[in-house]
Chain A
Amino acid sequence: MADTKPNTLQIATKPEFIDASATVVKQDFGERGVKTGNVRSARKITFDFGLSEDDVKKLQAELTDPVTEFSAVNEQISPGDFDFMVEVSRKPGVTDTQGRTAKEIAETVLDREVGEGNAHTSAQYFVKGGTEEELRKAAVAMLANPLIEDVQIRDYRTWDRKTGLHTLPVMIAPNNVGVGYVDLNVGDDALMEISTKGELSLNLREMHAIGSEYRRPDFAQERKTFGLGPMPTDVELEVLAQTWSEHCKHKIFNAAVHYVDRKTGQTIDIDSLFKTFIKGSTEAISKTNKWKDLLVSVFKDNAGIVKFNDMWNMLMKVETHNSPSAKDGYAGALTGVNGCHRDIMGAGIGAELIASTDVLCFGNPDYAGYLPSTILHPDRVRKGVFKGIEHAGNKTGIPTVNGSVFFHDSFLGKPLVFCGSVGVMPAEINGRKTEEKIIGPGYLAVMVGGRVGKDGIHGATFSSGMLHEKSPSSAVQIGDPIVQKRAYDFLIKARNLGLFEAITDNGAGGLSSSIGELAQISGGCEIYLDRVPLKYEGMQPWEILISESQERMTTAVKPEKLDEFLELSKKYRVESAVVGKFTDSGKFHATYGRAYWDDVVAHLDMEFLHNGVPRMGLEAEWQGIIHGDDPSIADNSDLTEELNEMLARPNIASKERMVRRFDHEVQGGSVGKPFVGADNDGPADAAVLRPFLDSNEGVILSHGINPLYGQIDTYHMTANAIDEAIRGVIAVGGDMERIVFNDNFCWPSPLEDKHKMAQLVRANMALRDYCVEYETPCISGKDSMTIDTSYTDQEGKRQKISGLPTVLMSAMAKMEDVRNFVSMDAKRPGDAVYVLGLTKDEMGGSEFYASRGAVGDSVPVVDAKSAKVLYKSLSDATKRGLVASIHDVSQGGLGVALAETAFAGGYGMDIDLSTLPAQNVDKNYKALFSESASRFVVTIDPLKAEEFEKTMGPSAYARIGSVLQEDGFYVRGLDKRAVITASIYELKDSWQSRFGWN
């Protein structure tokens, strides 16, 4: 062992090379109004374990790029002239992936174990100009998150090259590791104080239910035999709080609801929204001939599983990670995406990941109003979220293929971060059906992947409540995608070798949840908390049990296969440890070797744990549409400016410069890319990919979302989301045959609000009505029922921001042959332009109204019966090769869809709206910007027009113009007079220049 003094290694880019990360920081500072001169950066690694200075010099030689970098050991370097040095380092206990790699490299280079301790990395920025105060503000706003990172600033004049900064994150172990009892024989106020102070998010009825359980004499007697007293241990209370959290138990969706429609006088008593509408509609659809053999496993596992072909099944899951993303965009999205990946890894006996999707809702990017210090600026959140998605997907080799970004200031408090994952799994492995988890008594619970730390404690209960200033920062976790990727590679191999019998992920609730849920299969479990690999000493037993530290899976391994399992794990450099055993005792039983009372720290009835939560009863009352009339807007004779304005709206403008940071090509099966057309920059309607490279069978991924419509009626919002997702599938050459959905509901709390509850009921009604009509079953889903944030405003008053009720419908469809793929760009001058579907006076909730500060009430109403016929005809036409391009008409209406089709193709267009199939449309702005559902813009080789028209049969359609060789974009209005005269380059520039590369 060498001396224990930490050694530092600092590495910087040589002055003659561009320092790309420093350039970005300088831009970030500039955006915060801090003008600086030159900015250079350095990376610092502090080795806080047994290394000598010579050891570190050996590492220096390996870790410094001899061409572009220079470095120093135990001496501060300064790359260039500077006034201030800003150093950003992680707080204690926060995951440091680079530090982990640095330690692994130290062991490789020095060829020995280096002992306990960690390597810590920090980023240093050497800034010319600025003042210490403004740099600190800018650093906290742009570079560091005070919840997880520290910022230190040094003045050049007080700079000491020898000592520099030597601050290391130190975990302080609590003095007493042990277990305590919690007395529930107290008054209601005291009970609620226990719940609130302990971050348990349990309500009074739930606290009473737990109290009653412990007053049961036979239970008390049974506990006595294990040396446990008649009160819950802190471990037990935490397990119950986690298992009963809204996040895990979906208490609102399972509640008994009394719904009253004040307009019609109708009342309905609903026995669980989930059972009635979501599961209910899927059950109805699953009985149809089309679907009866295709739904393999729905609503009971981490992801929905459907048949792909005779050999393979496919899986989908879309999660949300809203609260963590509000606290830190990067960490929230990173763990959200990788967490949802684990849902696929943990479905059945484990599946391969083939794609990710991301749908995001933020406050407006240029929001300039008041924000309390506890709420991050939406642009900061957005940038962090994008970085998180980039790292989560790119670093694990899973293509990010579909998504969208929606801006509305109701999402200032909590952004919505929907992370979707898609996978495939062989239908059978070694003669065993892969969707089944099999666990018998005696099988071992083996934890695989990362270690357990204090990160992510109370994530499940935290996300189930309203965000506030004191929300726990330990709920912010940073992921380590490479640790997960290694675990993934190992688990797929182990699965194929039949080394384990069941698997699930450690997400919300950690081991308590993963083992607790798997234990329902065998009928009980024992968990050995002292055998769980920890990141550091000093964790309380209850913390070990519910910690949500990332990158962990729990498997059930037969004892006779354990050695082989552990051997292979070691081969893949993955840590695996036996942490428990499955039993048929009917008990959730946990021990901790170093505690008292014969080591038992938890002993609960499985039945009470999983089914003991009291059912909620909720009231819902619908008053009808409350938004009022449509505004009256004069129809300008020329709408060119309006079209340019619409194209530049944040919700419509190109997101290409954000999205190109995501790898959408890895795995080699990309067909329909996020951006398509002559210059690969037109907005695709859906993703198409080939999961099996030797086959042309494909998967289509699309989605529908529009919270603006929900301001009028969530029923129609949901119907439009379903229709939009289906349109995406049809637009890229798919059909109605094999579309399944994942539903996500994000709602402001409806617990004390009958109107919000009624909105939730109505959204569910639409889900049932339209999914049944379209025969598109939901196979999985997730809800997040508290998208509210409380804060104190400038006058010291308590305020609340609540996100708009939001439904995301994510569609996954089998495509028989990817060679039927159609993209949205106009292909050739002379091609005929068609509009399919009826345009109606349905401006309510449109982007056009939003641009005028209005909502209106004429929300688009989906006519599913007509749409079905249209979709069938159009997919027949695409399969017969009759169409050159198809573009879905959604936000921004026909005007936007036509312009996008034209400029993506690199050709102009001549359009005449006088023949548009329309209903009650008397103004040109309505023809151009109404967002009526179930419509497409299609271009067609004129030689194929006749056959195409025959194929379209009775559906509403019209030929409204043609593609031009020149770059002019001309629209004549309802009265045949010119309303738009523009060039496609001008329109494209409006659409593209809203968001930059940074």
Chain B
Amino acid sequence: MKPNALILTGNGLNTEKELDYSLRAAGATARIATLYELVDGDVDLGDYQMLAICGGFSDGDDLGAGVATAKRLGEAGDEMRRFFDRDTLTYGVCNGFQILVKMGVFNDGARRDLTLTYNDAGFFYDGWVRLKADPDSRCVFTKGLGALYLPVRHGEGKFTTKDDPTLQRLHSNGQVAMQYVDAQGNTATKFPENPNGSVDAIAGACDKTGRIFGTMPHFEAFNSITNHPHYTRMKREIGAGVDDVEPDGIKLFRNMVSYFS
């Protein structure tokens, strides 16, 4: 049976169309719901194995990206906790990642010790970035992904921690699942390879179970090889065969679906 995904949108979240397509293309069934439907009890998380929280601008990023929506989702807090505690997968992309961070799911203790804050450059940036997934991470989403090429588009994507020990803890727990890299494959330190100034070039992190994952880069926006910025260059090199190349973005959703098979 196909695993069932709930895609959470509304209130300024906006990537439901491509998340829906990507999840289905990877073999899941999916339903799109607004977060109001969740907090009003119109949808039951108990019916789902996967939760995907959209990117976008919930509450317009007013007062800090994801802050307000994390609070609004707090009204369904018990239901969310029960969902996280079950053997489920949760993926938050961009604003969805910010919301998860601000809900505190990546924390060690009760007090939040890491955050996503304003890009060092001080502005919103849209561009494709090179990434590597850590093969040793406990993250179930990135298994076997290796090198990736994906778009980022955000103004508040700088991953940072309260202090060094927190950062070391994330590394040693295998929670640093994905990092920005330069053309040579080394962790990126400079804009725009590291588009926001994230410490240790952290682009995606998982919780201690590896079942909750958040990324600033948009896997769902690379759902067809025609999305690739070098689609036409690849076509000149390998001809029509380019259309058989699997887009990097879909690989993540395939991993999600495989987890339940």
Enumerate chain A interface residues (CB-CB to B < 8 A).
Answer: 17-18, 20-21, 23-24, 43, 45, 62-63, 65-68, 97-98, 100-102, 104-105, 108-109, 390, 394-397, 480-482, 485-486, 489, 571-573, 660-671, 673, 676, 678, 680, 690, 693-694, 696, 818-819, 821-823, 825, 827-828, 881, 884-885, 941, 997
Bound complex: CA A299 to CA B182 (Å): 51
In contact, B153 and A663 (Cβ under 8 angstroms): yes
Point out the residue from A68, A486, A694 that lies within 8 Å of B11, measured CB to CB: A486
| In-complex Cβ contact of B226 among A696, A827, A885, A941 (8 A) | A696
Evaluate whether A827 and B71 lie within 8 angstroms (CB atoms) in the complex, with A101-B59, A394-B124, A818-B226 already known.
Answer: no
B162 and A997 contacting across the interface, CB-CB below 8 Å = no
A703 to chain B, nearest CB (A): 20
Chain B CB within 10 A, most for which of A17, A668, A690: A668
State whether A668 and B220 are in contact (beta carbons under 8 Å apart), knowing that A104-B59, A573-B11, A997-B121 are contacts in the complex.
yes
Q: Whole-angstrom distance from the CB of A861 to the nearest CB of chain B?
A: 32
A67 in contact with B112 given A102-B63, A571-B36, A670-B227 (CB within 8 Å): yes
Q: Is B144 an interface residue (CB 8 A)?
A: no
- The interface bits of chain B over 1-39 (1 if a CB of A lies within 8 angstroms of the residue's CB, else 0) are 000000001111111011001100000000000101100
27 CB-based A-B contacts, threshold 8 Å = A18-B118, A18-B197, A20-B119, A20-B120, A65-B112, A67-B113, A67-B114, A68-B115, A102-B62, A104-B68, A397-B13, A482-B11, A661-B124, A663-B124, A665-B151, A665-B218, A666-B221, A667-B17, A667-B18, A668-B17, A668-B21, A669-B18, A680-B128, A693-B223, A818-B226, A821-B231, A885-B232
Majority SS at the chain B contact face: mixed
> Do residues A390 and B17 form an inter-chain contact, with CB atoms below 8 A?
no
Give every chain B residue within 8 A of A696 (Cβ-Cβ).
Answer: 226
When A20-B119, A62-B67 are in contact, do A671 and B18 touch as well, CB less than 8 Å? no
B136 interface contact, C-beta 8 A: no
Interface check B229, CB cutoff 8 A: yes
Q: In the bound complex, how far is the Cα of B67 from the Cα of A45, in angstroms?
A: 15
The residues in B between 44 and 91 inclusive whose CB is less than 8 angstroms from any CB of A are: 55-57, 59-64, 67-68, 71-72, 74-75
Q: In the bound complex, do residue B71 and residue A664 qualify as a contact, i.e. CB atoms below 8 Å apart? A: no
Q: Give the docked Cα–Cα distance between A669 and B36 (Å).
A: 27
Cβ of A670 and Cβ of B60 under 8 Å apart?
Answer: no
Tell me whether B10 and A827 are in contact (CB under 8 A).
no
Residues of B within 8 A of A661 (CB): 123-126
State A671–B231 Cα separation when bound (angstroms).
8
B124 and A109 contact, CB distance less than 8 A: no
Q: Given known contacts A63-B64, A67-B162, A661-B124, is B118 in contact with A489 (CB within 8 Å)?
A: no
Cα–Cα, bound, A339→B14 (Å):
19
Residues of B within 8 Å of A24, CB to CB, are 122-123
List of A residues within 8 angstroms of B227 by Cβ:
665, 668-671
| Closest-CB distance, B58 to chain A (whole angstroms) | 8
Contact in complex: A98, B161 (CB < 8 Å): no
**B interface residues, tally (CB under 8 Å):** 71
Name the B residues within 8 Å of A397 (CB-CB): 13-15, 56-57
Contacting pair A572 B34 (CB below 8 A): yes
Chain B residues numbered 235-256 whose CB sits less than 8 Å from any CB in chain A: 236-237, 239-240, 243
Separation of A383 and B41 alpha carbons in the complex (Å): 44
User: Distance in Å from the Cβ of B121 to the closest Cβ of chain A?
Assistant: 7
| A819 B120 Cβ-Cβ under 8 A | no
Cα-based distance from A888 to B233 in the complex (angstroms): 18
- The answer to the question of B173 belonging to the interface, with a C-beta cut-off of 8 Å to chain A, is no
The reply to whether A108 and B11 form a contact with Cβ atoms under 8 Å apart is: no
Q: Is B164 an interface residue (CB 8 A)?
A: no
Q: How far is the CB of A965 from chain B (nearest CB, A)?
A: 15
Looking at the complex, which one of B21, B115, B151, B231 makes contact with A65 (CB distance below 8 Å)? Answer: B115
The residue that A665 contacts in the complex, of B126, B230, B237, with Cβ under 8 A, is B126
B127 on interface, CB distance cutoff 8 Å? yes
In whole Å, how far is A478's beta carbon from the nearest beta carbon of chain B? 12
- Specify the chain A residue showing the minimal Cβ separation from B220: A668
Residue on A nearest B232 in the bound complex, by CB: A823
Instruction: Tell me whether B153 and A665 are in contact (CB under 8 A).
Output: yes
Cα(A885)–Cα(B233), bound, Å: 9
Bound CA span A23–B72, Å: 32
* Contact between chains at A489 and B68 (CB < 8 Å): no
B229 to chain A minimum Cβ distance, whole angstroms, is 5
When C-beta atoms are compared, the residue in chain B nearest to A676 turns out to be: B229
Query: CA A402 – CA B6 in complex, angstroms?
Result: 33
B187 at the interface (CB under 8 A from A): no
Closest 3 CB pairs of A and B: A397-B14, A668-B18, A20-B122
Q: Please, how many angstroms separate the alpha-carbon atoms of A906 and B15 in the complex?
A: 33
Chain A residues, CB < 8 A from B75: 108
Determine whether B160 belongs to the interface, using a CB cutoff of 8 Å to chain A: yes
Contacts A66-B112, A665-B221, A671-B231 hold; do A18 and B72 have CB atoms under 8 A apart? no
Contacts of A884 in B (CB 8 A): 232, 236
Q: Which residue of A lies closest to B114 (CB)?
A: A67
How many Å from the CB of B155 to the closest CB on chain A? 8
A665: B residues at CB distance < 8 A? 126, 151, 153, 218, 221, 227
